[in-house]
Chain A
Amino acid sequence: MLDVKRDMISNIAQKSGTKEVEEPEKALVQRASKGDRDAYRILVEKYQNRVYSLIVSMVKSKEDAEDITQEAFVKAYLSLKNFRGDSSFYTWIYRVAYNMTIDFKRRSSKRSEFLATGPRSEDGSEAPPLDGVATDGNPLEEVERRELAGSLEKAMAQLTEEHRAVIMLREVDGLSYSEIADVVGVSQGTVMSRIHYAKKYLQQALKEFA
């Protein structure tokens, strides 16, 4: 079961264009903790898009998300000596990123403004559909997928950042409930409740799509 999940994560990494490496992650983490920059670069490149996706789903500003992603990886590198390896590196880096994003959100007053107005690009127009939505082949299907992507993004934007985060961690990153609980710092029951609430909401919002 765990292997299947790892394969899934690996596939996602390949689909997202990140480089899959042969070297076991644990060895990379050990090398990086001793100051090996090349090893850490591999880890950063492997997880940067997924960490960024999690953050951007919570803050909605790409610039802020890039800054937080950058600082999360810097902080993780400087703290690697304290990483005991009880959890996997990816849940650890997600936790660092998640906590930094929550701190950022607490400091900023953008949240209420965002929730009131929905996702908007910087010039005030409606945000374009997610870049990462899969498209292939049939133009009609592609139009439908774009419509679905737009509706999905709007619906996701109506969720709180906590709900968006668990959905991203579950559906994009393929984390288990216990891993999500570890990242977010809540119980598995709370994770399930959040996922349930989010999916119920999304189901209502997307009921016109087959």
Chain B
Amino acid sequence: MDTKNAKNNNRPSFLEKLMLRVVDGEATALESVVLKVASKMNPAVSSRLEDFQKVNRHLSTLKPERVSVDLWSQVERRIDEEERSAAFLGQRAAREAQAEERESFIKHIFNPSLFGGMAVGLATAGVAFVIFNGGISSGDSTEVASNTDSAAEEIASAEHNTAQGIANFVSYGGSAAAKRREQTYEAYRNQRQVREIRRMDKSLPFEVDWMRSDGHVSFIQDPRRGSTVIWVKRGAENPNRPQLLEADPNLVEATR
């Protein structure tokens, strides 16, 4: 109850709102006249209005503080950094897109749905052969479809393993790697987790992009699995910021 009363006491009354609006120049002409009349009729209103005006006079002595550094130079340098980084990632994305285009035909061939279509076609041809020739049992066409599905599963499994391997590396080896700031992949390419990934896919290099790090650990992988960027939190500049050195695999997201 007391709290409620205290809250109500902090709420401006109608008259106080009116006074506030008048001294802050927010009132209409009519509101100003109403307050003028009220303050003439009631000394308490007049006194309260004077209090508000006094506070405003005190506050009018405040002036903006001045930035002590050449802010524009710093802002411009940071904008340059951001634009360079964006351009770098943009060029990289363009290269990856070109590579994707070049290999789209190969990918198309290994597309599981195409395999599925081919399997359906083969099955249809098999059924037609059986109908017109009365020879082969239906189990053979099922086998063709089954083989096609297993090829697709194998591809999917390989992709999953690679992604899982990276997730394991980030979650297991990420902490140690992050502590060794500014080190490149070369410094820890022979670590066990990296060797495991390289065994899975020998063409898979790693990069740690410290400049772009923003608190999330993630990897961007191009369609050929030829390039991976891991963004890692830089924690040293601001001790209040949490340091994300060891990633939860849930934070690892494949953007491609």
Contacts and interface: CB of A to CB of B under 8 A. Distances in A.
A152 B69 CA distance: 26
Interface stretch (B16-24, B141-149, B164-172, B185-193): B16-24
Contact of A52 (B10, B59, B65): B65
Interface residues of A, number: 56
B65 A56 contact: yes
A16 B61 CA distance: 13
A192 B248 CA distance: 45
Contact of A196 (B16, B63, B74, B82): B16
A109 B240 CA distance: 8
Contacts of A197: 10
Interface stretch (B50-58, B114-122, B151-159, B224-232): B50-58
Interface string B231-254: 000000000110000000000000
B59 A70 contact: no
Contacts of A71: 78
Given A44-B75, A203-B54, A66 B67 contact: yes
Contacts of B25: 1
Contact of A37 (B11, B24, B60, B76): B76
Given A49-B67, A170-B24, A148 B78 contact: no
Contact of B20 (A17, A132, A152, A195): A195
Contacts of B61: 133-134, 145, 148-149, 152
Nearest to B26: A177
A50 B66 CA distance: 8
A70 B78 contact: yes
Interface stretch (A22-30, A72-80, A83-91, A118-126): A72-80
B192 to A, nearest CB: 35
Main secondary structure, interface of A, reads: helix
B71 interface: yes
Nearest to B76: A37
A62 B82 CA distance: 24
Contacts of B105: none
A48 interface: yes
A132 B66 contact: yes
Considering residues B10, B21, B71, B75, which has the most beta carbons from chain A within 10 angstroms of its beta carbon? B75
Main secondary structure, interface of B, reads: helix
Contacts of A196: 10-12, 16-17, 20
A168 to B, nearest CB: 8
Contacts, number: 129
Given A66-B67, A77-B79, A131-B66, A199 B10 contact: no
Contacts of A99: none
B72 interface: yes
Contacts of A17: 66
A167 to B, nearest CB: 7
B64 interface: yes
B240 A107 contact: yes
B62 interface: yes
Contact of A202 (B10, B59, B71): B59
A152 B62 contact: yes
Contacts of A202: 55, 58-59
Nearest to A171: B59
A1 B25 CA distance: 9
22 contacts: A12-B64, A37-B79, A44-B71, A49-B64, A70-B78, A74-B78, A74-B79, A107-B240, A107-B241, A130-B62, A131-B66, A152-B61, A168-B62, A171-B59, A177-B26, A192-B12, A193-B10, A196-B12, A199-B52, A203-B51, A203-B52, A203-B55
Given A171-B62, A192-B12, 4 more contacts: A52-B66, A77-B75, A172-B64, A206-B58
